[in-house]
Structure 1
Amino acid sequence: MVHRFRIQFDLGDLNQRVIDEWLRFVVNKNVEILELDLQNGRKACTIFASYNFPLNLSNATVVELASLRKLYLNNVVVRNGVVEKLLTTSPLLESISIHRSIGLTQIRIGGRGVNLKHLEIVNCFGGISVHLNDCNLVSFTYMGILMDLDITNLPNLKEFNIRHDRVGFDNYVLSQLSSCVSSLEALSFPVDGMITENLHSIPRLPNVKKLTMTIDTLEDGHILNHLVSSIREACPNLETFIIKLGWYSPFERRVLKARSYANIQPFENLKVFKMLGYYGRTVDYELAAYVIHNVVALEKVVIDPRRHDQIMIYRGKVRRNVLLREEVARSSAKRQLESLVARKSPGAKFVIL
């Protein structure tokens, strides 16, 4: 028996047969964790450099891996229907993670007999429709182009993370969370800072303890009033609040305006507030200050100016400019927020990464 088996190859015509042989070995060893990572680290991958999974090792259309509990696929072709068939031929399968796949345009998972607990789909080529109905899923993560999403009767869903590339889709996605309000504990979703009405689509989520919002575009004054009222009302027991800001928002250096925070119902249980991508823009400060002013039990504030929207390799002058920008952001955060945190929450720890 093999507990964990990882295949990591640079793709090429000569390697297809080798990968086939390794998979034949795995099938006969009752593997529990299988990782097929075909990302080419030395040169750019193309959508043509992919491997079809699963290999047809027998008369069956899908490889039977009766002991499989966890599956990770990267840069592998996964056709429609493969995931569903795997769940029937691998009854112990609890976790599926699919990255950079082509050929996958639809996933339909449902039924109490399905053992799947964790599903992750990241940066697959083309749009995908996802239907998750009447099953015991615990966590769902999706990043990429989302064509359609259907969530129905997921009583055990605790973690929902989504980052989609479809403008105007936020209302539709958030409204579907109503089917798992009693179980959801962690939520992550994007917000368009120019269209803040989507915050009103969040249903009441009394058990959510951790919330992450990704804001790619910011316009001064648009999100602040909606932020406290909508998030506080939707998640009254929130303990950790994370805001990720995009670096591409317009850089503003206006004179900071005095704002009134009186008569605003505060976050009663919030303990940790984090802001990623803080650059010292006026909107950055106002957003952070708005939250800090409305927390009564704050224990820690973390400001991270580093770029988190994508992984990039910087060289020469570009890298120096990025590092300089981060240092400017750190200085701005210290000047703008350190005294505010000390004044509003004297016992809170203030951290700048």
Structure 2
Amino acid sequence: MKSPRIHNLNDILIMAEQIKGEIGSNEFFDLGNQHDYNPEDVVSRMPDDILITILSYLTVKEAAVTSHLSKRWRHLWRRTVHLDFEDNGRKEQILLQPKLRLPARNRYINWVNRVMCHHNSPMIEDFVISFNLDKQSKGAITKWIEFAMSKNVQNLELNLMEDEDGFSDDVRNFVFPIKIFIKKTRLSCRQHSMNVPPMPFTMVREIKFLKTLILKCVNINDETIGEMMKSCQVLEHLHIHNSGHLVKLIIRGPALALRKLEIRQCLGLQSIEIRDSNLALFEYLGSGIPLTLNNNPSLETVYLGAGYSGIENNLFQQISGCLPYLRNLRLNIYRPKNNMHLLSFPEMPKVKEFSIIVGAWNDDSLLGLTCLAKACPNLQEFKIQLIWITPVITAREIMHGMRHTHKHLEVVEIAGYFGRTSDLELALYFYDNSVALKKIVVCPAYPTMSRKPISSDILRKQRLARLAARLQLGHRISRGVELVIF
């Protein structure tokens, strides 16, 4: 989706020139034989479609500001097909000063409602709500959803998280209305609450265009998911984060267009069944639950984390139905077993990229994790993120006993490298046993998820970790293998 940001007239002109180069100058605008012209003249000569395309790279707040650039721009922002209502600055203020939450919410709601009342494009490609809201704002949020659906929205995102960590009490979450998917909904001009000003009259038509639905800190239940699957025939991407109402999620049927399913931190979820689907990517982050993944021949990427150790919960047995198709597997193994090298793992013949997030608080050997790499005979990339807060450093001897030839492994990445014995022996294992190895990437970056600024002590430890990596690996890594230390 949108990534560039345009903040002034000069930026807008640069973007216009880029678009002009793509579509051809003759179709863009005609400056005639003028040699001297000012930026206002250039802007005023652009066709509406070009100006609206430029506005699509802005948030709603940025697009509205452009109405002051020239008369030509005054009302064009109302026709943009990308409505991105982000207000991260005010979200940060609420985190620091919770007493500001209620007035900030009211201002945000009134702002979104005002924009919607002035918006006059017949369709919307992207509609993004990103603010700290909950079920107390039910009336406003419901109307926003209905408005977006009435405009044949393609990508709808409700990000109601308090912060990016996404951990909140799901009891307070807004509940996604099932009526959106089971009947046509009329939006009247009546005022339903103090926070919801009169809205234009519209009708939610059949949901034919919704391709992406992202719900964060929004409760949605099994029945609503079922109705959604029936109503949204082109839905390709479903992301649900911190819903308290999901219990038994079932995705089933070859007629579904769904290709990407992400479920994160839904604490009430008891089981997931995905069968006979066209799914290409499945991600589940949460506590260990029964998984059923059967007859999904397009499923090439699976990411499982949090409560799943990848070992204790019969994980490989549960996902055995998709192992023949997998090309990219990512696991969280927060408590690796010391005797993992004695365990037997099923062969994953098509896996080319294997990523692991692993708890590494102590300096215990991590070589047992290489058994997972051995189970992938065609592995090309192996990535490991070591998680620790205060790493324990020991003076034990390096282990060299494990041998296995990795014929296709080209890239090894070790994040959280601190220069411990366990870090060094893991890097040396892959260097010694990978005949096609091209690059070893070492990143000593502090791996915690804290939002607090990194202290000077942590920065000092990172510098020491980089120095240790260079001293330990610099003279050992050779024979054409590139060593990269971030």
User: Same fold, TM exceeding 0.5?
Assistant: yes
Which residue of 304, 313, 320 maps to 2:451? 313
Task: Give the structure 2 partner of residue 327 of structure 1.
Answer: 463
Q: How does 1:77-88 map to 2 (within 5 A)?
A: 77-88=219-230
Within 1, Cα distance between the matches of 2:356 and 2:182? 47
Matched-pair contact (CA < 8 Å) for 2:146–2:180: yes
More strand by share: 1
Cα deviation, residue 211, structure 1: 0.3
1:134 aligns with 2:256: no
Q: Distance in 2 between matches of 1:58 and 1:247?
A: 45
TM normalised by structure 2 equals: 0.64
- Conserved? CA contact 2:308–2:332, under 8 Å: no
Give the structure 2 partner of residue 16 of structure 1. 138
In structure 1, what is the Cα distance between the partners aligned to 2:282 and 2:384?
A: 20
Q: CA deviation at 1:83?
A: 1.9
Q: Which runs of 5+ in 1 are unaligned?
A: none
Of residues 225, 242, 249, the one that matches 2:383 is: 242
1: CA distance, partners of 2:425 / 2:286? 30
Match of 1:340, as an amino acid?
Answer: R
Offset of residue 12 of structure 1: 4.9
Q: Name the SS of the counterpart of 1:321 in structure 2.
A: helix
- Matches of 2:182 and 2:236, distance apart in 1: 25
Q: How does 1:154-173 map to 2 (within 5 A)?
A: 154-166=296-308, 170=312, 172-173=314-315
CA apart distance, 1:40: 2.7
CA offsets, 1:257-301, max 9 Å, x none?
36356xx33111111100011111111111221122111111111
Name the structure with the higher helix share.
2
- Please state how far the C-alpha of 1:194 moved relative to its aligned partner: 2.6
Matched AA of 2:129:
I
User: CA, structure 1 residues 196+91, in 2 after alignment: closer, same or farther (shift >3 Å)?
Assistant: farther
> Helix, strand or coil for the counterpart of 2:317?
helix
The answer as to whether partners of 1:107 and 1:130 remain within 8 angstroms in 2 is yes
Q: Does 1:204 align with 2:351?
A: no
Identify the residue that residue 412 of structure 2 maps to in structure 1.
273
SS at 1:125 equivalent: coil
SS in 1 for 2:179: coil
Instruction: Report the identity percentage.
Output: 30
- Judged with a 3 Å threshold, the aligned counterparts in structure 2 of structure 1 residues 171 and 146 are, in CA distance, closer, same or farther, namely closer
Q: Which residue does the alignment assign to 1:34? A: 156
Query: AA paired with 1:56?
Result: K
Alignment check: 8 A CA contact 2:258 2:279 kept: yes
- Say if 2:178 and 2:224, in contact at 8 Å, map to a contact too: no
Contact 1:270 1:295 in 2 (8 A): yes
The offset of 1:190, in angstroms, is: 2.6
- Give 1 or 2 for the bigger CA radius of gyration: 2
Higher mean displacement: 60-69 or 85-94: 60-69
RMSD: 2.8
Partner residue in 2 for 1:50: 173
Structure with the bigger RCO (C-alpha within 8 Å, sep 6+) is 1
SS at match of 1:335: helix
Shift of 1:53: 0.8
Describe how 1:112-151 pairs up with structure 2 within 5 A. 112-151=254-293
Amino acid paired to 1:32: Q
Match of residue 4 from structure 1: 126
Given the superposition, is the C-alpha separation of residues 327 and 89 from structure 1 closer, same or farther in structure 2, using an over 3 Å criterion? same
**Cα pair distance change 1:171/1:196, threshold 3 Å:** farther
Kept in 2, the 8 Å contact 1:193–1:218? The answer is: no
Amino acid at match of 2:450: M
The residue that corresponds to 2:472 in the other structure is 336
Distance apart, 1:237 and its partner CA: 0.9
Write the letter of the residue equivalent to 2:378: N
CA pair 178-41 structure 1, distance change in 2 beyond 3 A: closer
- Matched residues in 1 for 2:355 and 2:398: separation? 27
Give ranges in structure 2 of 5+ residues lacking alignment. Answer: 1-122, 186-203
The structural deviation recorded for 1:218 is 6.5
| 2:292–2:319 CA contact under 8 A, matched in 1 | no
TM-score (norm 1): 0.87
Q: Which residue number corresponds to residue 480 of structure 2?
A: 347
Contact persistence 2:406–2:434 (CA under 8 A): yes
